[in-house]
Amino acid sequence: MSSDPWQQWRAFSALFTPGAAAAAPGRGGPASFAPFTETAERFAAAARAYMDATKALAAAPADATRMFTDSLRELFADFQPWNAGMGTGPGGAPSGFTTNTAALGAAREHQQRGERMAEAWRRFEDAQRRLQRLGADMLRDAAAHLASRLGTSAPVDNPEALRKLYDAWIDCAEEAYGRTAHSEAFCNALAESVNASADWRRELLASMEHSAKFLDLPTRSEVNTVLQRVKTLEEEVRVLRKAAEPKAAEPKAAEPKAAARKARPARPKAKR
């Protein structure tokens, strides 16, 4: 195996990324590896360019650092864990309903439901935009910290230096992310994103239940009602059974308390 982690990653990617079957004939692999493999490789390419620039002195170290950190910001621009973090957002196309239209006539309830869905979608998109802005700021913050950590000295061009550079970037990114994630603005935007998607989902469910009733199909609400009745019955049975149990089933309260202090070994055949 190569000692260069980035070459390892390239080979690893070839083994596990669908479409790279030629590198590993007959073996499939988890596609989930692809995103971070690709990111690692792109990081390696940017780092290589940075090292080459500083080595050849084609650019001043400060300029090379700026170019490097800019490329990292671009590389991680789509890295938005919060999108997946709190449940799926509205996945479908936005509703054709618009808000601020008078709801009149027999279809007014459906119209209002559609308007609520459209409004929830608008709130969700707005929250996502706020999160994206915060994400961009976070990456700028991370890049600035990495640049200050790199200073003006040129790094040594070897696999260990590359790995240290990567770890330094992860440290800076994580620290910047931590500052952002703890901020009021981020918490507000994240909560609004989750709340809006939950509102949208609730209205969608109501809409689907309406259609199900029309087709005489059981709805989730009806199933829930049955489940709650079963749960209530189970609780009643449990209470009745407990009341019917003889007192002997209670813990041996009559035993001297000293017995509880030193429990009897319950397994005489225990290995010694």
Cβ proximity to another protein: between 32 and 100 the closer is 32
Is residue 233 a contact residue for another protein (CB under 8 A)? no
**Is residue 207 near another protein by the rule CB under 8 A?**
no
Determine which residue in the list 31, 36, 148, 233 makes contact with another protein, applying CB under 8 A. 36
Q: Which of residues 136-155 bind another protein (CB under 8 A)?
A: none
- Minimal distance in Å, beta carbon 56 to another protein? 27
Q: For another protein, how many residues bind (rule: CB under 8 A)?
A: 70
Per CB under 8 A, does 97 bind another protein?
no
Other Cβ atoms within 10 Å of 68 Cβ, number? 24
Mask 100-119, x = binds another protein (CB under 8 A)? --------------------
Gap between the Cα atoms of 211 and 216, Å rounded:
9
The conformation of residue 97, written as its DSSP 8-state character, comes to: -
Q: How far apart are CA 226 and CA 214, in angstroms?
A: 20
Residue 22, interface with another protein (CB under 8 A)?
no
Among 91, 96, 105, 251, interactor with another protein by CB under 8 A:
251
CA angle 66/35/38 to nearest 5° reads 55
- Pick from 134, 141, 140: which is nearest to 190 by CA? 134
Instruction: Answer for the pair 5, 162: CB distance below 8 angstroms, yes or no.
Output: yes
Q: According to CB under 8 A, which residues from 158 to 197 bind another protein? A: 163, 166-167, 170, 173-174, 177-178, 181-182, 187-188, 190-191, 194-195
* Cα dihedral: 200, 205, 207, 211 (round 10): 160
Q: Quick one: which segment of 45-53, 91-99, 125-133, 222-230 binds another protein (CB under 8 A)?
A: 222-230
Question: Would the CA dihedral through 155, 157, 162, 163 be positive or negative?
Answer: negative
Contact 28, 18 (CB under 8 A): yes
Q: In this complex, which beta carbon is closest to another protein, that of residue 87 or of residue 151?
A: 87
CA–CA gap between residue 106 and residue 101 (Å, rounded): 15
Write the interaction track for another protein spanning residues 74-93; mark x where CB under 8 A is met and - where it is not: -----x-xx-xxxxx-----
Q: 221 and 209 in contact (C-beta within 8 Å)? A: yes
Residue 270 touching another protein (CB under 8 A): yes
CB of 219 closer than 8 Å to CB of 207: no
- What span, in angstroms and rounded, lies between the C-alpha atoms of 69 and 62? 11
- Residues at the site binding another protein, with contacts judged by CB under 8 A: 1, 5, 8-9, 11-12, 15-16, 24, 27, 29, 33, 36-37, 39-40, 79, 81-82, 84-88, 163, 166-167, 170, 173-174, 177-178, 181-182, 187-188, 190-191, 194-195, 198-199, 201-202, 205, 220-221, 224, 227-228, 231, 238, 249, 251-253, 255, 257, 259-267, 270-272
